[in-house]
Amino acid sequence: MKIYDAYRLAIETGMQHDPRPRSEVDRVLSDAKKEFDSLEGDKKELFDTESLWNPYYDCRFGCLEDEAKEKDAECFLWGIDITPSEILLADRLREKGQRIDAVVAHHPLGRSRNPFPKVMWMQTDIYHDCGVPINVAEGLMKPRMDEVLYNVGGDNFNRSADTAELLDFPLFNVHSAADNMVQEYLEKKIHDAGPERLGDIIDLLLTEPEFRHFAKLNDPPKIVLGDKNSRCGGIIAKMTGGTSGPNGIYEELAKAGVGTIVGMHFPTAAVEACRKCHMNMIISGHMASDSLGINLICDVWQKHGIEVQGISGFFRTSRL
């Protein structure tokens, strides 16, 4: 398998596990096609043509895309965050004789950094599935998307890609496609187990190797609001959709019958919003949750003979 084919397989795998109806994913692609077809002249040269097949603006190739279509994929180096330091580490490992065909990031960088707030729109379907009216979910989401867009505007977004290109490493990132995997995995695990108390959810998470690994590093799943004996009520796992959602959504979730939200991480304002509506909150852990989703992608690659070395917060473990 070529490097670019492995990248495309990761995106397509994420699409198969998208929390939205397939019709909604297809609509995103169709809208991109309509926008592209409406452009004239040299404006088409500036269009992000990958959006014609890839619905995740936070997953993109950073550099050496054409070369990646010709080079075989045997070993990748994947980290949660890839900075020039990790690229230099890859170069040092290569000097020592380790094969590294490409460097993979989880969090958006390069071409995927600035447009990544667009993927937050998928959260509206997650909240709607919990009983929040879709018009309310969409009305709350747009201002939050704008806020995130403004916040990323000052980033030096392409420095890792620039470094990778100079050192001849194909670089790409897989964000929402991997987060979709952990979203579905934990939703099913929680649904099948039917936990009654918050402590049951903590125990359930700690049956997974990623959460056990990071618990040993003093980052276990944590009950932020409520205690181990608090009853769960309705439970939502929120693991995908770019970043944290709007603070106003928690009141709407509580109205819809959600008693407990489980997420990778939450800002202080979200904790206070949940406290006001008496919602329980569990932080599953950022690195552990990201690692779980990434591992499910890596297991797909493993079936094609691709080895992945974890760095920068990613703990690699196989379920095959």
- The range of the structural domain enclosing residue 54 comes to 3-179+289-310
Does 249 reside within a domain?
Answer: yes
Does 317 reside within a domain?
Answer: no
| Pick from 156, 143, 139: nearest CA to 117 | 143
Q: Which residues of 147-170 are buried (b: 16+ CB within 10 A; e: fewer)?
A: ebeeeeeeeebbebbbbbbeeebb
| Pick from 56, 61, 37, 62: nearest CA to 47 | 37
Does 280 reside within a domain?
Answer: yes
Q: What is the pLDDT of residue 251?
A: 96
Positions in the chain whose pLDDT score sits under 50: none
CB 110, CB 60: distance < 8 Å: yes
Domains identified in the chain, total number: 2
- Statement to judge: residues 7 and 114 lie in one domain: yes
| Pick from 47, 48, 69: nearest CA to 60 | 48
- Statement to judge: residues 51 and 197 lie in one domain: no
Does 216 reside within a domain?
Answer: yes
Does 41 reside within a domain?
Answer: yes
Q: What is the pLDDT of residue 154?
A: 86
Please state whether beta strands 258-263 and 234-238 pair in parallel, antiparallel, or not at all (unpaired). parallel
Does 319 reside within a domain?
Answer: no
State how far the Cα of 215 lies from the Cα of 186, in Å rounded to an integer: 17
Does 144 reside within a domain?
Answer: yes
- Statement to judge: residues 30 and 168 lie in one domain: yes
DSSP state of 105: E
CB 189, CB 204: distance < 8 Å: yes
**pLDDT tens per residue, range 38-73:** 999 899 999 999 999 999 999 999 999 999 999 999
- Statement to judge: residues 165 and 72 lie in one domain: yes
- Statement to judge: residues 76 and 88 lie in one domain: yes
Q: Which domain CATH number covers 201?
A: 3.40.1390
Q: What is the pLDDT of residue 153?
A: 86
Classified as helix, coil or strand, 101 is: coil
Does 122 reside within a domain?
Answer: yes
